[in-house]
Chain A
Amino acid sequence: MMLIPCPFCGKRNESEFIFGGPVVAARPDPNAVSDAEWVEYLTIAPNPLGPVQEKWWHARGCGEWLTIWRDTRTHDIVEAPNGSE
């Protein structure tokens, strides 16, 4: 069980959170993209052997949706890698 930093509450036990999936590309205008682009947006998620950006919901806490960078090898919560926001 991890300790997840909530912007409102501070570090809290993972059991207070619900996993919300990895952060994927912004939703494109469905009327402006090709079928292939639309399918890629829906089905492709980053799956790195290392830091991944993901969403968590503080469901049993303040209700905040938050974003963290987590290293998939160690589960350590890490700084955003260079080049990402």
Chain B
Amino acid sequence: MAQSNRRASGGRIDRNRPVRFQFNGKSYEGYEGDTLASALLANGVRVTARSFKYHRPRGIVGHGPEEPATLVELDGEDASGNRPATTVPLRDGLSARSVNCWPSPDFDVSGINQLFARFIPAGFYYKTFKWPNWHLFEPTIRKAAGLAAAPAQPPSSGHFEARHAHADVLIAGAGPAGLQAALEAGRAGKRVFIADEGTEAGGSLLNRNLTINGQPAMDWVADAVQELRGMGNVTHLQNATVWAYREHNLLIVNEREPEQGSVLERSWRVRAGEVVIATGATERAMVFADNDRPGVMLASSVQAYVNRWGVAPGQRVVLFTNNNSVYAVAADLVAAGVTVEAILDSRDTVPQEALDTAQGITVHTGTVAAGVKGHKRLRAVHAVSAKSGADTWIDCDLLGHSGGWNPTVHLWSQSRSPLRFDEDLSAFVPDAAAQACRAIGAAAGDLTLDRIVQGGLDLPYAIEPLWRVDVPGQRGKAFLDLQNDVSVSDVQLALREGYDNVEHVKRYTTGGMGIDQGKTGNINIIGTVAMQKGVPLQDVGTTTFRSPYTPVSFGAIGGLREESVLFPYRHTPVTQWNKDNGAVMYEAGARWRRPGYFPKPGEGLQEAVNRECLAVREGVGVYDGSPLGTFELKGRDVPRFLDFLYSNVMSSLKPGDGRYGLMLSDDGLILDDGVAFRLDEHRWMVSTSTGHADAVNQHMEKLLQTEFPDWQVMITTVTSQWNNATICGPRARDVMQALGTDIDLSPEAFPFMSFRDGTVAGIPARVVRVSFTGELSFEVNVAPRHMAELWAKVMEAGAPFGILPVGSESSHVLRVEKGFLSLGHEVDGTVDAYDLSMGWVMSKKKPDYLGKRSVALRREGGSTRRELVGILPGDPNRQVPEGAPLTLGGRKEATEGLVTACVWSVVNERWVGLALLENGHARHGETAHVRLKDGVIPITIAKPVFHDPDGKLLRS
């Protein structure tokens, strides 16, 4: 019968707006304002889940994020798994399924596990499944675990968002304490950010019937919310969980369904001057035999369903407690017309004000619930007197229990502020703050309204702890952690075996490691350990509270950045031209994407590369060299600075001239290579490799600002002020002529390693004579605003000479043919300039420069060096894979070197390569051996240059 447990009236639901939904294939009706849990209870659905390990039937236990038992999987658009039914707002067409049971929680095949329960105690898997080996069992175990299935698709529409926020005060929780604090701070003109996980403000007041100054407490809440809305300096979010408390008062808030068109969830990174933790308190469970049966519920949750959702989860209720709060629950139940059969109070004497609250209700003091009858629905409670041992069975269909209250200290603890155990509350409460934060209200241990809001009326709190019910001869499992099926006997076993640290207990039994992170049970585990070991809880301590407070979808954390914008990316004015002309684009350094090669239709990489290389060697080619890092240095001390920075001498350069150089780190490793030009007396231009531009900039600034603050050197990054088209090949000069320039291009007037300012094709340009290909080259630098135009004109002017665009693959071949160094290939942190036959770059004259002492020291050590050599595969048509190891005689043993590059040389019409080889310089002409998995390739060791050894061409 529809909503059989729905009360005739009351509750904060909209009875005019019925909502249809599906649960495990059956369809039900609830109301707007319901959660899935309240709607299921309204419909009298008792068994809503099966447990993780034993597959015991379970019902709904809580009413919020603490829910340990009923996890559901949502289908359709809002597909997501492992959601506590108590936190799923009901919406029309919602379709949910219980996790880890088949075919249904009511009849679950794996329920059979209950019979074997005794054979699978805590840690049983450590002791078995060893023979013959774990692989045999793993798949089955894996399948049994895992709860819900992972969503198969990302949301089909909408996106996630992450943003920054700044506040003087961040308040976590919009219950009475949080709202109060928000009003005070807001009125004081502070920038306030208040976030609450619930769909509605009010916190515990939503679930209770309290008054403030004689008015219903929820009226006070409504007024507070109203006033806050009117304040421009206050941001108030509901349905937004503060889930992480990071260093320097940075807190992360997850806002669900924000009022922003296509935004599914929003992540707020809030930087707060002060943090106010008003997260309330969580009721903890009582631990007794079969305390997991459907119909056994937290007392405050019974109260919440009756008051907030107008649902009577049962008709005949027994309450079991060790503290006062349950008496207010009893009063609310009676007021709602629910029969309270009895209150079992483990305390011998109950404070009078508590008894007064529950007049007319039978109270059995000094009495505990030892166990229950009923498998899938509760039938009776076994009441046992602690003193006399006298016992009775009390028939009922619902048991509400309260083991007392824990301040919700997760955020407090995440802030790395310590906790202390409060004997009066028998709970862990905030101690001294470690960051600019304070806890207030229930989170600080003020558990009743009268201590929070002036004029608030509430029943004073009092408790005598009862960590677990221990009645001799009582059978049945007493659960500490419902979600992971951890019972008292599991903890006892752990202790018996010596796993007696609370962290050991947690890990051995998996207690508190579920999705709820033991919000209702952890304290009882600690209590049980303390009882067993006979030490105070303070000494047992808590396990670490880790973010997130409640699970957060990764989408919300990631925000917008995804797919094409995962990493930054850069373009030059030619990037589009490259794409339009069929370039295969590569990820180059420093976030640039550069053309790898330009295949013609139907052409493979090798053919395309050969074509491009031939053009450069026999005609002319051009490439976009814009990404090279470029810096302008100014000041009197630039010369001495460059002399310290580079291993060779730069200070001797004349204006207009340039020089290639190496930069070393002070421990003698090669940082970068590049070219320095002297523009005039005090102005210099330094270029770096593309990938290291940022690193070199950082390096230079660090030296100048932290080591040599007095040196007059000012650095300006001009990488994007100068783009360049580098025209290279025997016909390069012809192309330059064809473009038209006012610069005298003759080798005499414009020699290698110099630059000239002028115009090229009518465009203001700085032309530089460097060469990374070994051919005659003109690097035509222009402002980016002119680059596209220049490029077009170069292609046009070059056409008669068969000019081709050259990609990075060809650049690689061309530099290997010349034996030019490539940081990514030949330099891997172990080689130095001498190994590369570049000893000339290591100045002897200069007494000191970065890396000098270290390189010397390393060489004095006498360790065998791996030196750069050229290699010629015995079979000229046999390519050697890059990175292939060289071993003595090709034996399977420690390597003596590796092949750093191997390319098809268009000038030699054979495969040639470079390698780093132990004592390679002394072994030219010898044979070495490449060791592959399935064979050996003999190679001849040669000088690392296969084209124009004297460098006539590049100077021509």
Q: Which residues of A contact B (CB under 8 A)?
A: 1-3, 13, 18, 20, 27, 29-31, 35, 38-39, 42-43, 55, 57, 59, 63-65, 67, 74-76
Contact = CB atoms under 8 A, between A and B. Distances in A.
A24 to B, nearest CB: 11
Given A20-B698, A55-B702, A59-B698, 5 more contacts: A2-B248, A3-B248, A27-B707, A38-B853, A63-B701
29 contacts: A1-B246, A1-B247, A1-B250, A1-B269, A3-B248, A3-B271, A13-B271, A20-B698, A20-B706, A29-B848, A30-B848, A30-B852, A30-B853, A35-B860, A38-B853, A38-B857, A39-B857, A42-B854, A43-B667, A57-B698, A57-B701, A57-B702, A63-B701, A65-B701, A65-B702, A67-B706, A74-B434, A75-B247, A76-B247
B847 interface: yes
A74 B434 CA distance: 9
Nearest to B860: A35
B769 to A, nearest CB: 32
Contacts of B503: none
B416 interface: yes
A65 to B, nearest CB: 4
A74 B416 contact: yes
Contact of A64 (B248, B705, B847): B705
Interface residues of B, number: 24
A75 B698 CA distance: 24
Nearest to A4: B248
Contacts of B706: 20, 55, 65, 67
Contacts of B847: 31
A56 B471 CA distance: 63
Nearest to A63: B701
Contacts of A2: 247-248
Contacts of B701: 57, 63, 65
Query: Which of A2, A65, A67: most chain B CB closer than 10 A?
Result: A65
A40 to B, nearest CB: 12
Interface of B: 164, 246-248, 250, 269, 271, 416, 434, 666-667, 698, 701-702, 705-707, 847-848, 852-854, 857, 860
Contacts of B854: 38, 42
Contacts of B666: 27, 42
A83 B293 CA distance: 65
B837 to A, nearest CB: 25
Nearest to A14: B248
A59 B713 CA distance: 18
B250 to A, nearest CB: 6
Nearest to B269: A1
Contacts of B857: 35, 38-39
A20 B247 contact: no
A33 to B, nearest CB: 9
A84 B859 CA distance: 37
B270 to A, nearest CB: 12
Contacts of A30: 848, 852-853
Contact of A20 (B246, B667, B702, B853): B702
Nearest to A33: B853
Contacts of B848: 29-31
B705 to A, nearest CB: 4
B248 A75 contact: yes
Nearest to B666: A42
Contacts of B852: 30
A65 B854 CA distance: 26
Nearest to A75: B247
